[in-house]
Structure 1
C-alpha cells in the first residue's frame, strides 16, 4: 500500500471535499455480524476499565519513525489525522471507535503512573469534545503542551511521553474497534532525541506488543532495507510464530525513484486527494508492473481491512475463553486480597483486645494515662481491664450501701442494721457517701426506717403469711417475702451496671477500630459484625441476669456457714446490748466504809428483776424480731454472692472475656460470607491507595463478569 493522508473530512461521517457523504462500504469489512458481536464484548469490557487490570485484545500500529504508521492507521479508519511533524507520534495515541446513533469526538489523557500525583491529577482533568476533525490538530497540540513536551522554561523540552492520549470517535457506521498508534522506533540519538528518549520508545513498544492479546501491525517502509527496521526483530521476539502479527509494507512507489508515479504519490501524501481517489490510485498502482503479479489478497488497503477483520475476529474468538478465565481468576485474587486484608485487621484487633482484657497495656495503642479525666472516660477507656475493675468496684459499693429497699436507723438517724453484722460504716447516715457513681443520677436511694418501723413491717408481712405454726414461730415463707422485698432494687442496679460496662466495651472497640483502620472500613465493620456482636453479647448478659434474678426469687437456700455465723453474731450483739442497758439501769451509788467515797454498783436483785421482765408477751413482735434478724443475715450473705455472680457470671462471661474471640478475630473473618467480605473491604478507603485500588478493581471485574454473562449467551467461541 502507499502512504496517503486526508484533511478533507471535517465531520464524524466520511465526506469528500464537496461535502458528499461517502459510502462506508470499506469499513463494513470490519463489521461482520459475528465480528461485531465479538468486538462489542471487548468494547464493553474496555469501557468497564478492565484494561488497567486485564490485558484486553487491541490492535497496535508500530514501526520505525517515518515508516507510514499513521497513514496506515488513517487508511484503516478513514479518519483524517493531522500531519504536522512529530505531532501524533510523541506519545501513544489510542483511537477508540464505537458505533452509536450520535456522532461525537472526545478525548482524554491517561497519565503515566510514574508521574507525581499532582501531575496525574492535572492530566486526568483534561477532557475535550470537538465537533469537527479540523479541530483535532489544536486539541492534540494542547495535550502535547499539557504533557510537557513543548516546555521551554526548564531547559530542553521532553521529546516523548509515556502518557496516553485517547481519542474516542462514535458514529452510526463506526466499527467497535480500538487501535493504538505508537511513537516510531528511533535507532540512534540526535540533537532533538536523547539516548533516554530512544530507550523510552523501545520499552514502550515492547510493552505493548508483548501483550499476548495484542494484534501487531508491523509497518515497514519500502524506502529502507527490511533488515534495518527494528520492528521486525521486536515483533518476532514477541510473537515468534507470527500468530498475531501482520506485516504491512508502505511506500512501495519509492522503489522507482524519479518516476511519474513518485510525483503522484508525493501529491497524495501532501493531502491533495480524497480517500476515494486515494483508493483508486492505489488500485491503479498495483495493477501495473511487477505488482500486477502479486496475489490480490495481499495488496492494497481493501485487502488489509479484510485480512485485519478476519485476523482480529479469529484472534478474539481464540482469546475470549482465556480472557474470561483470567477475569474470574483476577476476581478471585481480588476477593482473596480483601479477605487477607480483613484477616490481618482481625489479627491486629485481636491482639489489642486480648491485651486490654488481660490488663497488659503495652503498645502504642494504649498510650499514657490521662489523670485529669475519670478512669472510664476519654482515652483512659483504652485500658479496658482497669475500667471494668473500676465499674465493678463501684457496683459492689452501691450494692453494699444502697442495695436494700430499706435502711434501719436509730433515734439519731444513724444506720443500725449493720451495727450487729460487722464493721460496715455503721455511722453512715446517708448510705451514699462512698459512691463515685458513673451515672448522673443514682437510680436507687434506700428508704430510711426506724427499728420499730422495721419490726412493724415484718409484723405486717408475718400476718399475711401465717400458716399453722404456733405463736412465737413464723412461716418459713416469711423470710422469702422479706428478702424479696428488701432485695427488689438489685435487678435494676445490676442492669444499669451491665449497661455501663457494655457502653465502655463499645467505646473501647470503637477506639481500637479507629486505630487499626479507616473511618469507612470501621463503619462497614460496625454495620456487618461489630455492632451485632456487641448487641448479642449485651443480650446474652441480660438473659444471664434474668436467670440470676429467677434464682434469687426462689425460696432462700444457703449452705454457707456465714449465714448462721452472722445470726449468732447478731443475737449475741443484741443480748450484750440489752444486758448492758439493763446493767446500766440497775446501777446505784454506794458509799464505801473505808474511804467514804461514793461508787457505782450493780444491784443484782434489781438486774435480775429487769431481766425477768424482758419477756416479750407479744408473740407477733417476738417472731418479727427473730425473722428480721434472719432476713438481714441472709440478705447480707446473698448480696455478696449476687455481686460476685454479676461481675463474674454476667460481666466477665458475656461482655468482657468474649471480646477478643467474638467481636473481630481472624476466626470471625474466616466465617464471614463472601458478600460480607466484599461489602466491608470494597468500600473506598481515604487513608490507603491499596484500599482504593481494591475497591475499583473489584468493581471493574464484577462489571466485566456481568458483560460476559450478557454478551456471550448466544456466541460460540473456540475452547
Structure 2
C-alpha cells in the first residue's frame, strides 16, 4: 500500500494508550451497529458551505480527501479510523430509512475496498451517483441525500476515532439548491448535533462575518452553554493584517465574544493554489503564519493543527470518561426493554415447524387450564382471586367454570320446580290455602339465582284450586274416553295430562343448555385471549374452536330432542316413588274424610265417672262415610287421574332434571371441553396449510421481530464489549 496510507506518525499526538482503550470501547460498540440504537459519542464537523470543514477534517485525520468542489458535502460522510495490524480502506453506505426498501437494499449492497487514497475520489463519486445525485450538484433531481457514506481506514498506527463530516449549511436557495435542500441540510445537521454525546466542531470561515454564519446560531440553540461545542476558525489568512476585522476575529478566538466552555481554535488551511502540497508542508505553512503579528500573541494551545489534536485528545478522553457509565446504563435499559418487547411477540413462527410447535405449546397450556377449570381445581395465575362482589356467573368469575356450571344447574332445577308445570293446582276447592309447587314444597317468593319466567321464554304457571283442577282433568277425560268401565279412566289420560302439564320443560331445558353453552364459549374465548397472540386467536377460533363448540351444542340439542321424544311416549316408570306418592295422596284423602266424618259423628255423652265426654257414634260415622261416596263416576275418575298425574309428574321431573344436567350439559357441553376443543391432538390433525393460516405471523410482526432480534443481538454484543473492555481498563 502506498506510503500515504501508512503515514500516521503525526496522529500519535491525538491519543495515548489509555485514551485508545476508552475509544476502542466506542469503536467496538459502533461496529456492532449500536449507533442505530444508542447515541454513541462522536466528533461532528459542521459549518456553513465553503467554511473549510473538509480541510479541517483532512488536517485532523491526515487523509487526503478529494479536491473536487462539493464532492464530499452532498451527504454525511463518516470517517472511521481504526487501529489494526493491516492497512485497508473500505466503504459502505447506510441508507436513509425513509427510502423504499428496494433502494435501501441497493445502497446497502455498496461495499468497496481500495488500496490507495488516490482511488478515493472515484469511489466517492460512485457512491454519490448511487444515491441518486450527480457529481457536481448541477441539474440533478436531488442535490443532497440523507444517506451516510462510511469510510473505514485501518492501520497499525491509526487512532481509534470516528468523525462525521456534514454537508454545509446553505444561506439561501438558488437554481441548484432548493428550499427543500436548505431544510434537509438544516434538519440533518440538527439531528447530528442534537445528540448529547456528540462533540460539535463548529467550523466558521474568517472570509465571512461570523454573525451571519448559520452554524453558530444552530449550535448555540442546541448547546446554549457551549458545553460540547468547540469553535474552529478557518481562513484567517484572508484577514487584512492589523485591521479591526482581524482584531475582532482574534477576540472571538479568545472566547471574548461568543462564549463556548470548550473554547475556540484557529487553523490555517492550504491556500487555493497549494492543494497539492503535503501535510508536512501544510503544517509548516500554518506554523509560520501563527508565529507572526497578533497571532503570535495567542496561546499556542489554541492555534494550529498539532495543538488542536492535543485538545481533541484531552477533550475526547474527558468526554468519554463521563459518558461511558451513562452509555452502559442506557445500553442495559435498552436491552431489557427490547427483550420485553420481543417477549410480548411470543415464540418465533416463521416456518411450519415453528408454527406447529407454537400451536402445540398453546394447546398444552390451554388444555391444562380448561381441564383444571372443568375439574374445579383453580390453581394458577389464570384463575386469579375470587370476586365476591359479583354474581357467580358474572364475567368476573367466569374463569371458574365448574363453579359457574354448579351454580346454573341448581338454578335450572329451581326453574323447573317454579315454571315447569302449566297449572299450579291447590288441594282444596276454594284455593285459599298456601299454593304448593309441583314437588309438594312451598315455593319461595324470591331466589337470587332464579330468572323470571318471561326471561326464560315460558309463562308463569296458572293457579287453579282443586275444583278447577278437576274440571281441567274432567274435560280431558271426556275427550279421551275409551271402552273402560265407569269409575276407571283410559290409560292414555295420564299421558295427555302429563304432556300438557309438562309443556314448558323443553323451553326451560333449551334456555339452560343455551346458558351453559354461552358460558363455555366465553370461557374458552377467555382462555384463548391469555394463551394465544391477538392475531392467532381469531384464526384459531374461526377455523376450529367455533366449529367444535357448535358441534358440542348441536349434540346437546340433539340429546335434548331425544329426551323430549322420550317424554312424548306413553308414561313408564319403575320408581317406587310414583306408587308411594299415590298411596300417600289417597291415604291423606281418606284420612281427611275420616276426620271430617268423625267430627260430624261426634257427640257429648254423660258418664258416671268422667262426666260429659266426646263420643263418636259408630253408626253415625258409618252413615257419614257413606254419604261421602262420590256417585259421579267421571268426577271419581278425574280425582284418581289428577292424583296419578301429579305423582307421575313429580317422579318424571326429578328424572328430567337429572338427565339434562348429566346427560346433556355434562356429557356434551362441559366434559368434552379439554379434549374436543383445545386438545393437542387437534394440532396434530391440522394440515400444513391450516397451521400456516392459524399461526403464521403477519408481515408486520415478522418485521418487528426481526428488527427487535437484530437490536437485541447488537445490545447483547455491546454489553459483552463493555464487560471485556471495562475489565481491561482496570
TM superposition score normalised by structure 1: 0.54
1:553 lines up with 2:568 in the alignment: yes
1:526 lines up with 2:541 in the alignment: yes
CA separation of 1:369 and 1:152: change in aligned 2, threshold 3 A? closer
Displacement after TM superposition at 1:133 (Å): 9.2
Q: Equivalent of 1:354, from 371, 385, 393?
A: 371
Contact 1:444-1:493 within 8 A present in 2 as well? no
CA distance in 2, matches of 1:591, 1:685: 109
Displacement after TM superposition at 1:337 (Å): 2.1
CA distance in 2, matches of 1:635, 1:691: 67
CA distance in 2, matches of 1:466, 1:613: 27
Tell me which residue corresponds to 2:122.
71
CA distance in 2, matches of 1:408, 1:696: 74
- Ranked by relative contact order (alpha carbons within 8 Å, sequence separation 6 or more), the top structure is 1
Tell me which residue corresponds to 1:363.
380
Q: Equivalent of 1:505, from 495, 517, 520?
A: 520
Tell me which residue corresponds to 1:704.
none
Tell me which residue corresponds to 1:541.
556
Secondary structure of the structure 2 residue equivalent to 1:360: coil
* Deviation sequence 1:148-182 (CA, Å, 0-9, x none): 4x667436479xxxxxxxxxxxxxxxxxxxxxxxx
CA separation of 1:539 and 1:50: change in aligned 2, threshold 3 A? farther
Long gaps (5+) in structure 2: 3-64, 72-98, 151-172, 202-274, 277-347, 710-730
Displacement after TM superposition at 1:680 (Å): 3.5
CA separation of 1:343 and 1:142: change in aligned 2, threshold 3 A? farther
Displacement after TM superposition at 1:334 (Å): 2.4
CA distance in 1, matches of 2:569, 2:396: 43
Contact 1:355-1:361 within 8 A present in 2 as well? yes
Contact 1:5-1:71 within 8 A present in 2 as well? no
Secondary structure of the structure 2 residue equivalent to 1:441: helix
CA distance in 1, matches of 2:674, 2:431: 52
Contact 1:403-1:487 within 8 A present in 2 as well? yes
Secondary structure of the structure 2 residue equivalent to 1:591: strand
Contact 2:424-2:437 within 8 A present in 1 as well? no
Tell me which residue corresponds to 1:60.
111
Secondary structure of the structure 1 residue equivalent to 2:455: coil
Tell me which residue corresponds to 1:619.
633
CA separation of 1:452 and 1:355: change in aligned 2, threshold 3 A? same
Tell me which residue corresponds to 1:632.
646
Contact 2:349-2:697 within 8 A present in 1 as well? no
Q: Equivalent of 1:342, from 319, 337, 359?
A: 359
Displacement after TM superposition at 1:577 (Å): 2.1
Displacement after TM superposition at 1:416 (Å): 6.3
Contact 1:455-1:625 within 8 A present in 2 as well? yes
CA separation of 1:595 and 1:79: change in aligned 2, threshold 3 A? closer
Tell me which residue corresponds to 1:372.
389
Contact 2:349-2:696 within 8 A present in 1 as well? no
Q: Equivalent of 1:693, from 699, 702, 705?
A: 705
1:662 lines up with 2:676 in the alignment: yes
* Deviation sequence 1:444-496 (CA, Å, 0-9, x none): 31111111111111111111111111111111111111110010000011111
* Deviation sequence 1:96-121 (CA, Å, 0-9, x none): xxxxxx97799666999xxxxxxxxx
CA distance in 2, matches of 1:543, 1:695: 52
CA distance in 2, matches of 1:578, 1:590: 23
Contact 2:593-2:625 within 8 A present in 1 as well? no
Tell me which residue corresponds to 2:449.
436
Displacement after TM superposition at 1:523 (Å): 3.3
CA separation of 1:151 and 1:634: change in aligned 2, threshold 3 A? closer
Tell me which residue corresponds to 1:467.
482
CA separation of 1:336 and 1:106: change in aligned 2, threshold 3 A? farther
* Deviation sequence 1:124-146 (CA, Å, 0-9, x none): xxxxxx99997999899779757
Contact 1:357-1:385 within 8 A present in 2 as well? yes
Contact 1:338-1:681 within 8 A present in 2 as well? yes
Tell me which residue corresponds to 1:120.
none
Displacement after TM superposition at 1:605 (Å): 1.1
Displacement after TM superposition at 1:401 (Å): 2.9
CA separation of 1:81 and 1:690: change in aligned 2, threshold 3 A? closer
The equivalences for 1:264-663 within 5 A come to 334-409=351-426, 410=428, 411-414=430-433, 424-426=440-442, 428=443, 432-434=445-447, 436-438=449-451, 441=455, 443-596=458-611, 598-663=612-677
* Superposition RMSD in Å: 4.7
CA distance in 2, matches of 1:438, 1:404: 16
TM superposition score normalised by structure 2: 0.53
Long gaps (5+) in structure 1: 10-45, 85-101, 113-129, 159-261, 264-330, 698-719
CA separation of 1:6 and 1:404: change in aligned 2, threshold 3 A? same
Contact 2:419-2:461 within 8 A present in 1 as well? yes
Displacement after TM superposition at 1:502 (Å): 1.6
Secondary structure of the structure 1 residue equivalent to 2:383: coil
Contact 1:338-1:694 within 8 A present in 2 as well? no
CA separation of 1:455 and 1:356: change in aligned 2, threshold 3 A? same
* Deviation sequence 1:3-36 (CA, Å, 0-9, x none): 9897799xxxxxxxxxxxxxxxxxxxxxxxxxxx
Count of paired positions: 449
